[in-house]
Amino acid sequence: MAFAIPFSRHKNPNHQKVLSINTAVQGTQGNEPENEIDVTAYAVPGICEIRCIPKNRVYIGESENLLARLGKHAASLAQKQHDCTDLQQDWNQFGLKGHSFRILRHGPSWADGEKRRNEEALILKEEQKESFSVYNTDRIATFTHNYRRLIEIDGKVYASVIAAQKGVGVSETTIQRRLRDSKYPTWRELDRIKSGYTKVCIEGQEFKSIEAVVKAGLANNRGTVTRRLNSSGPKWRKSLVEELGKVR
């Protein structure tokens, strides 16, 4: 038996290549297995989609490793342990044949996490415009209202959901759900802050936003500022959160 992934390429309305994937375990004839490809080529950053075909309902997600992300989704769905309850219920009803897995964006050009998340937001909004039902509506709410959430997890404060994701090692979607789940009383939202107004302190000088740092010529782009703020260097820091996790 051989694990094969037959696929076809087509273009979306934005004229970007899309990879449609259907997984199957197929028998082989002699030493000539059919339709095999090297899937390690898709261990790259990008955006993927799981679509329930009977309901035309979609789950959109970005990842720095699409192969790992899709594998994790497939495994958790098969084990009936997926974080998205609605997607799991549809999977239980329709199975693999009732779902399609697609890679919407992929490659080195999607290595920047902020770029992926912005594109993810655009795709989610387009899906809604086309009257498709979306599983992860919490992602739409976050982008639509243009704010970030100051949250506390087990006594530690994080300046955003993305920061919490890095701190606790679970997906953004899982964090969003646990913030609403009474089973996780130590996970809570403290505040919602309008995007673009994070105060930053660099070598004693305070800037009203990350964009202001870029305009001052201290960094080439927002990504550089964010990476330096997340490093352990004492000269670049956010003015929003104390080291001990208490909000100023």
Residues 89-105 pLDDT 10s? 999 999 999 999 999 99
* Residue 59 identity: Y
Residues 38-55 pLDDT 10s? 778 889 999 999 999 999
Token digits for 116?
Answer: 């992926």
User: Which residues are CB-contacts of 120 (< 8 A; sequence separation ≥ 6)?
Assistant: 47, 60, 61, 62, 139
According to DSSP, residue 110 is labeled G
Q: Where are the domains of the chain?
A: 2-144, 146-195, 200-238
Tell me the CA distances in angstroms from 88 to 67, 68, 82, 140, one per residue in order. 20, 19, 6, 20
Residues 122-173 pLDDT 10s? 888 777 666 568 887 655 444 444 567 788 999 998 888 888 888 888 877 7
CATH architecture of 2-144: 3-Layer(aba) Sandwich (3.40)
More confident residue, 75 or 27: 75
Distance of CA 200 to the CA centre of its chain: 25
Token digits for 235?
Answer: 């000269």
Is 134:57 a contact under the CB 8 Å cutoff?
yes
Give the global pTM.
0.52
- Looking at the predicted structure, is the pLDDT value of residue 11 above 50? no
